[in-house]
Amino acid sequence: MRIIKLDAIDSTNTFLKEISSVETLEDYTVVVANKQENGRGQMGKVWQSKSGENLTFSVFKRVKGLEFSNQFYLSIVTALALYNTLKSYNVPNLFVKWPNDILSANKKIAGVLIENVVKQNRLEYSIVGIGLNVNQTEFNNLSSATSLKNNTGKTFNLDEVLHKFLTEFKIAYKSLESDAFEFLKIDYESKLFRKNKPSTFKNAEGSLFSGFIKGISSNGNLVVLLEDEVIEEFNLNEITLLY
For the beta sheet containing 198-203, the strands, ordered from the edge strand earlier in sequence to the opposite edge, are 231-234, 222-225, 208-216, 198-203, 239-241
Alpha carbon distance 152, 155 (integer Å): 9
pLDDT digits (tens, 9 = 90+) for 119-160: 877 789 999 999 999 999 999 877 899 999 999 999 999 999
Topology match between the domains 3-189 and 198-241:
no
pLDDT band at residue 48, thresholds of 50, 70 and 90? low
Domain boundaries, the chain: 3-189, 198-241
1.10.1760, 3.40.50, 2.30.30, 2.40.128: which CATH number matches 198-241?
Answer: 2.30.30
Contact criterion met (CB below 8 Å) for 68 and 118: yes
Alpha carbon distance 148, 73 (integer Å): 26
Rounded to the nearest 10 degrees, the angle between the axes of helix 72-88 and helix 158-177 is: 140
CATH class of 3-189: alpha beta
Alpha carbon distance 76, 98 (integer Å): 10
pLDDT digits (tens, 9 = 90+) for 162-218: 999 999 999 999 999 999 999 999 999 999 999 999 999 999 999 999 999 999 998
pLDDT digits (tens, 9 = 90+) for 75-122: 999 999 999 999 999 999 999 999 999 999 999 999 999 999 988 777
